[in-house]
Structure 1
Amino acid sequence: MLTAHQIDLIQDSFAEVLPITDAAASEFYRRLFQLAPETRPLFRNDMAEQGRKLFLTLATVVDALDRLDSIIPVAQELALRHVGYGAKPHHYQAVGSALIETLRGGLGPAFDHETEAAWAAAYTILADTMLAATRSNQAG
């Protein structure tokens, strides 16, 4: 569970990224493909459009961090769609690393240790929810 302070840190830092979303999305995918080159073929669409989808999804999640129960079904559905795209459980670690590295690079000193820890905690909750949905779907 995230604290109110962690939620504030995430929402405030995300607001700082919004003006540079195109560059941040491009950097995110560059880092992801560097960390997990096998994910590159999973993205067949226009990468600019993919980046917009990524940040729209992030904005939805960041906005709802104080109501996590409302985004859990969305995260579960997203996880099942990603299985269809070819995403594997080990890709979640690369995505999390690429996200943190992108935020660190884009926000500079504003992305302090406490803010990074808040983002890592939020990502872990989301990734664990998505991975549990994937496992549950495969078991059922």
Structure 2
Amino acid sequence: MRADDIALVRESFAHLHRRKAETATLFYGRLFEIAAETLSLFKGDMSTQGVKLMEMLTVAIATLNDRDGLTTLLKRLGRNHKSYGVHDEHYAKIREALLWTMKTSLGPAHTPEVAHAWAALYDHIAAIMMDAGRAT
């Protein structure tokens, strides 16, 4: 990712992180709306899952300048998600839900540049995770 994309992601995520429970609720609500079949992949309390989502995004965004560290983290996540039953086709729906959440949560701060930066980040993350999942 380009340095200016990283800066946009970090700046916009700081806004979302202040409302992390709401952001996670929006994300999962949208995901289950557009991909109801993914609901069965989640066990337990969804508020706990929301905390995990926001924590993982926090770590991933914090390590954007550490390619090796980020890649190691994402490969592990990809293998884990494969074991949970996540398939490659789910990643497109997750992308759609995430980008919708960004647009909804950020409101006027959601510019075309921010949208592009988040899409680039997600595509990078998903590619590494899917590759790792296929390798298991």
The TM-score bracket by the shorter chain reads over 0.9
Q: Deviations over 1:97-118 (max 9, x none)?
A: 1111001100001010001100
Structure 1 equivalent of residue 13 of structure 2: 14
Letter of the structure 2 residue corresponding to residue 95 of structure 1: I
- Output one character per residue of 1:11-66: Cα deviation in whole Å (capped at 9) or x when no partner: 00000111111011011001001111100011111111000000000000111111
> Does residue 48 in structure 1 map to residue 47 in structure 2?
yes
Q: How does 1:1-140 map to 2 (within 5 A)?
A: 2-137=1-136
Unaligned runs of 5+ in 2: none
The alpha carbon displacement at 1:68 in A equals 2.2
Specify the code of the residue in structure 2 equivalent to 1:36. Answer: A
- Tell me the distance in 1 between the aligned counterparts of 2:96 and 2:107: 16
- Superposition TM-score, scaled by structure 2 size: 0.97
Q: Where does structure 1 differ by over 2 angstroms across 4 or more consecutive aligned residues?
A: none
- For 2:72, what is the secondary structure of its paired residue? helix
Separation in 1, partners of 2:16, 2:66: 22
Letter in 1 for 2:33: Q
Structure 2 Cα separation of the partners of residues 69 and 116 of structure 1:
25
Aligned residue pairs total 136
